Amino acid sequence: LFSGIPYSEFVEVEPGIARCADPTVPGGYCYRIEGRVLRELGEPGADDQPSGLQKYPDLVDDKSILQPFVEIIYSPEEHDRWRRMFADIERTAPGRTVSDVMKGFDWIRRLGGMKKIPSLQAMSDDMETISGFKLVPALGLVSNDSFFRMLMEGEFPITLSLRREEEYAYTPFPDIFHDLVGHAPMFLNKDFCEFVRKIGELGLSFAGQPKPQSMVSKIYWYTIEFGLKGERYRSLGERIAYRDLQVYGAGIASSVAETQISVEAEITTGDRKINRLPFDLERLLLSHYDYDNPQELYFVIDSYHQLAELFAMDLGAFIQNILAQVKRGEKTMIPQGVLRPGEEALVIPPNPPVRA
Ligand SMILES: [Fe+2]
């Protein structure tokens, strides 16, 4: 069984590539057949190979969502991999990850996540009691419109497969570890849930308008996935600085290496730029984002209130305005890793605070 669906209900659409045969069975996403394992398509770093999602865009659809709820039978190896990954994160996170995520780790532990992949149903039920948010199993990515609709309705799709051993340290694709360890903890915070719901509502308001909708995805990316938080102060030179820089974004919080790098690495680390900038909505919307490579740009908030405040204005109109300015050539999009003249990335460790 994979995800509760018998193998016999998958057909090979080309050698080695399977998709669910029965249209009444959810699971429209493609899987690669590897022995007895149906593995989601997409090889991180494979040379010139389009990822599964790029190769089969028509298969990213709402059939990914598994309703009613299914419980997955994971192999002992998968439980063991999860246990080691969770232990690694637990060792790395203290001091580097925000207290909300740390509390979420306690919660995962209480639900048995120290030893094995916890029950998704139990986590979802518990979360719903705490914050009203729910977890919904999904076989792959859902369409943007469905994704935003789910967020608006307080639902988060959870990828069911666990990364392979060779992807232990990093996978650009979501997996159950990223989704449960990275995302789920923040969904215990009601204020954060409210922000996520509003992102969903805004994204859905741009249904059928890819450009403005991608701007909403970008806000999601630089906050919910790759956000950093710190206490803001000004150094003697009036340069903005932060102390206690910590991770709240799921893309970082679910990775040992990224947790360390994002809050501790020098601005230039090997070939990689680690540009940390104070959160600035316009700068964020003008920044490119990169799905496939390690991030070179992070935005630092000083409180979740800063995120909630985004919705104090007409954020949709703000986005449209930025897009219009870009179209007229008045504003330029900025690649990750590039700073504009006069911009300075935040250095780590930060300058000592000015004492009154
Ligand atoms: Fe994610």
- Compute the Cα dihedral for 119, 1, 183, 258 and give only its sign: positive
The mean pLDDT value for 128-135 works out to 96
Distance 312 CA to ligand 1 centre (A): 25
Distance 179 CA to ligand 1 centre (A): 6
Q: What pLDDT score does 347 carry?
A: 73
Distance 111 CA to ligand 1 centre (A): 21
Distance 317 CA to ligand 1 centre (A): 26
Distance 182 CA to ligand 1 centre (A): 7
- For 172-205, the pLDDT digits (tens) are 677 889 999 999 999 999 999 999 999 999 999 9
User: In whole angstroms, what is the distance from residue 279 CA to residue 301 CA?
Assistant: 5
Distance 5 CA to ligand 1 centre (A): 25
pTM of the model: 0.81
142 close to 59: Cβ distance less than 8 angstroms? no
Distance 180 CA to ligand 1 centre (A): 9
Which residues have C-beta within 8 Å of that of residue 239, sequence separation ≥ 6? 344, 351
> Which one has a higher pLDDT value, 237 or 131?
131
Distance 115 CA to ligand 1 centre (A): 23
User: In whole angstroms, what is the distance from residue 64 CA to residue 57 CA?
Assistant: 13
Distance 174 CA to ligand 1 centre (A): 6
Distance 183 CA to ligand 1 centre (A): 6
43 close to 135: Cβ distance less than 8 angstroms? no
Give DSSP secondary structure letters for 50-85.
PPHHHH-GGG-SGGGB--S-------HHHHHHHHHH
Distance 254 CA to ligand 1 centre (A): 9
Distance 18 CA to ligand 1 centre (A): 25
Mean pLDDT of the chain: 80
User: In whole angstroms, what is the distance from residue 249 CA to residue 277 CA?
Assistant: 15
Distance 258 CA to ligand 1 centre (A): 14
Distance 162 CA to ligand 1 centre (A): 14
Distance 8 CA to ligand 1 centre (A): 31
Distance 328 CA to ligand 1 centre (A): 33
Asked whether the predicted pLDDT for residue 136 surpasses 60, the reply is yes
- For 59-99, the pLDDT digits (tens) are 334 444 544 455 567 788 889 999 999 999 999 999 999 99
Asked whether the predicted pLDDT for residue 155 surpasses 50, the reply is yes
Distance 51 CA to ligand 1 centre (A): 17
- For 88-115, the pLDDT digits (tens) are 999 999 999 999 999 999 999 999 999 9
User: In whole angstroms, what is the distance from residue 8 CA to residue 324 CA?
Assistant: 51
Distance 356 CA to ligand 1 centre (A): 41
Strand partners, 33: 38
Q: 24 burial class (0-12, 13-18, 19+ CB within 10 angstroms)?
A: exposed
Distance 178 CA to ligand 1 centre (A): 6
